[in-house]
Structure 1
Amino acid sequence: MEKINIADILEFTAEKSARKAIFKAGSLDTGLLLYAPGQTTPDHKHSDIDEVFYVISGKGTISINKEEISVKEKDIIFSPAGETHGFHNTSSDNWVVLQIKIDISSKE
């Protein structure tokens, strides 16, 4: 077992958003998405990865297949493989999102 305190890995930069890895094992990959005010990740998709996004703190917008969805602390979103998604911190505070990725390419 491994334990990490999220507060210990929060590092926001003014230049661009960041992803801080937490745990990776087999088909599971977890990390924190860190957005300072105004930062974005452009729309993109993964053909072989299901993702779950859980808002730890702050608020912003997640676009899912071009539809913008406002999210805030304690909201959770599921984005299955092949679905387009992107992120935008629309607030004046930092935004922290837990990302859980599951590689489904090895499923039979």
Structure 2
Amino acid sequence: MEKININDILEFAADRSARKALFKEGHLDSGLLLYAPGQTTPDHKHSDIDEVFYVVSGEGTITIDDKEVLVKEKDVIFSPSGEKHGFYNTSSDNWVVLQIKINTGKMD
């Protein structure tokens, strides 16, 4: 078992969003996505990764297949492999999102 306190690893970069790795084992990879106000991750998709996103704090917009969805603290989002998604911190506060990736082994 391994324990990490999120407050110990929160480091927001001024120039771009950051990802802080948490746990990686087998097909599982988890991390925190850290967005200062105005920061983004461009739309992209994965052919072999399902992802779950949990908003720890703050709010922002997730684009899912070109549709913008406002998400806030305690929202959970599932993005299956092959679905295009991106992130944009539209608020004036920092945005923290837990990312859980599972490698499905599929190939598109």
Please indicate, yes or no, whether the TM-score normalized by the shorter chain is above 0.5. yes
Q: TM-score range by the shorter chain?
A: over 0.9
d(CA) in 2 for partners of 1:14, 1:6: 19
How many equivalent residue pairs?
106
Letter in 2 for 1:22: L
Q: CA shift at 1:85, angstroms?
A: 0.1
d(CA) in 2 for partners of 1:55, 1:33: 9
Answer yes or no: is 1:93 the counterpart of 2:93. yes
Answer yes or no: is 1:59 the counterpart of 2:59. yes
Q: After the TM superposition, which residues 64-79 of structure 1 pair with which residues of structure 2 at under 5 Å, given as runs?
A: 64-79=64-79
Uncovered stretches (5+) of structure 2, i.e. residues with no partner = none
Answer yes or no: is 1:11 the counterpart of 2:42. no
Q: CA shift at 1:64, angstroms?
A: 0.3
Q: CA shift at 1:99, angstroms?
A: 0.1
Provide Cα deviations, 1:19-78, integer angstroms capped at 9, x if missing partner. 000000000000000000000000000000000000000000000000000000000000
- The equivalent residue for 1:23 is 23
Answer yes or no: is 1:49 the counterpart of 2:61. no
- The equivalent residue for 2:105 is 105
> TM-score, normalising length from structure 1?
0.97
Letter in 2 for 1:85: H
Letter in 1 for 2:13: T
> TM-score, normalising length from structure 2?
0.97
Uncovered stretches (5+) of structure 1, i.e. residues with no partner = none
Letter in 2 for 1:7: N
Deviating above 3 A after TM superposition, structure 1's stretches of 4 or more consecutive aligned residues are none
% identical equivalent positions? 77
